[in-house]
Structure 1
Amino acid sequence: MDSQLKRGILNICILQLLKQEDRYGYDIIKILQGLFPDTDESTIYAILRRLNKGGLTEVYYSEKSLGPQRKYYKIVEKGNYI
């Protein structure tokens, strides 16, 4: 599959996942690697950063967990129209 096409599909998949509920990066990676096994974690994190920078998502951190705080991604209104 063409890499540009794959990135576009991953963008849409991530936004659809975030429409269902807020998710942290590792959760998104595990779901997408089940659908696209040859996708690297770094590719997904780069897309998450780009969606955030583009104003389609927001980031917040979990209150408390047993380990380090988790970075959650949340879709914003602008992201719902993609």
Structure 2
Amino acid sequence: MKANVAIEKEVSVKFTGDWTLNFQKVVYQYSDGTSDRGYRFIWRRPDGHLQAARGQARIPERKYLEELTAKAEAQGWY
């Protein structure tokens, strides 16, 4: 089944070379008309495009996971 992803909210941490690691609140919209809400980590390239990686984003250190989730909480994500 194919899915499109709609980004509702996003926080990010900038890395060398203008890459950013992003934590997103998203809605997965499936080709059968159903949808699921959730969260994902994904890299954004310097050109602004998302870097798809078969559903996985390598997080270099735990501190970035904690920084991104703290930013989301500070913005009132639920």
Q: Same fold, TM exceeding 0.5?
A: no
The structure in which a higher percent of residues are helix is 1
- TM-score bracket, normalised by the shorter chain, equals 0.3 to 0.5
TM norm structure 2:
0.35
Which entry has the higher C-alpha Rg, 1 or 2?
Answer: 2
- Greater relative contact order structure (CA < 8 Å, 6+ sep): 1
